[in-house]
Amino acid sequence: HVRILMQTENPQEYIIIVAAGTGSRFGASVPKQYCSLAGEPVLIHTLKRISLIMPAATQLLVISREMESLWLDLCRSHNFKSPEYTFGGSTRFHSVKAALDMLASRAADNDIVYVHDAARPLLCPHVVERLRHSVAADAGSGAVPVIAMADSIRMLQPDGISAAVDRNLYKAVQTPQAFRFGRIIRAYSQEFNDFFTDDASVVERYFRRPVDIVEGSPDTLKITNARDLAVVSALL
């Protein structure tokens, strides 16, 4: 498809919240984004935090079709108004693509799109500001927050033997990740590849140009197990 480039004098901001995962590693009866955190579902905490930090950004939620009834029930029981939502696909790549396709008729190429994990409820305003500044300056194909590796790390060889590597050469990647809309939607026009682990990997592969990195926050941890839920609850 040929896309007509659109530019606006005042770029708008959109944030895609990816909440279509099954949370298989979490081990609960429902995906982790619907589990209770300090009295409310994780996902509601995430959305409220985004509204507080990015009040002008348009939110677009991606959920599993099978979880729609549960999500709407939770919204009613917690007196919460859900943002606009669409249904995700079989992978994170397909879920983000579904959201971008929904934005195609309204977003301009120079608008900024953030993509955030629903299981990261402690969004940091300083990180958002760093991402915004980087994307506005066109420092790279996009911008992602990273933090230093705290633990020693080892690389596994094909024969099963491991070798120590310099952890200073590696960073842990977080969300949200930010991009100009015109770039990210073109990147998501390519075919899915198992190499894609986040939005930055999709954009870099398409444009053959690295993304910029900004300082993340250790508090923006991703809930993957019950212990993480307890840690985030304490931080809240």
Distance CA 193, CA 189 (A): 12
Q: What percent of the chain has pLDDT over 90?
A: 85
Q: Which helix (H) or strand (E) holds 11?
A: none
Q: What is the pLDDT of residues 111-152, one digit of tens each?
A: 999 999 999 999 999 999 999 999 999 867 899 999 999 999
Q: What is the dihedral of CA 218, 224, 226, 229, to 10 degrees?
A: 40
Burial annotation 2-27 (CB, 10 A radius, 16+ → b, else e): eeeeeeeeebbbbbbbbbbbebeebe
Distance CA 96, CA 174 (A): 16
pLDDT at 33: 95
pTM above 0.75, yes or no: yes
Q: What is the pLDDT of residues 87-115, one digit of tens each?
A: 999 999 999 999 999 999 999 999 999 99
Closest CA to 199 of 93, 98, 107: 93
pLDDT at 5: 53
Q: Any idea what the Cα angle at residue 228 is, between residues 55 and 167, rounded to 5°?
A: 95
**What confidence category does residue 25 fall into, taking pLDDT thresholds of 50, 70 and 90?**
low
**What confidence category does residue 1 fall into, taking pLDDT thresholds of 50, 70 and 90?**
very low
Name all contacts of 132-140 with Cβ < 8 Å and 24+ positions apart: 132/13, 132/178, 134/178, 134/212, 134/214, 135/178, 135/179, 135/180, 136/11, 136/112, 138/180, 139/212, 140/209, 140/210, 140/211, 140/212
pLDDT at 2: 45
Strand partners, 36: 41
Distance CA 186, CA 78 (A): 38
Whole-number average pLDDT of the chain = 93
Strand partners, 112: 13, 180
Closest CA to 31 of 59, 65, 78: 65
Q: Which tokens in the block code for residue 36?
A: 């209770």
Listed in sequence order, the residues at least 6 apart from 212 whose beta carbon sits closer than 8 Å to its beta carbon are 134, 139, 140, 142, 143, 144
Helix (H, G, I), strand (E, B) or coil at 53: helix
Query: What is each CA distance from 71 to 8, 61, 127, 205, 212, in whole angstroms?
Result: 34, 11, 28, 34, 35
User: What letter does residue 60 receive in the DSSP assignment?
Assistant: E
Distance CA 193, CA 154 (A): 25
Q: What is the pLDDT of residues 163-207, one digit of tens each?
A: 999 999 999 999 999 999 999 999 999 999 999 999 999 999 999
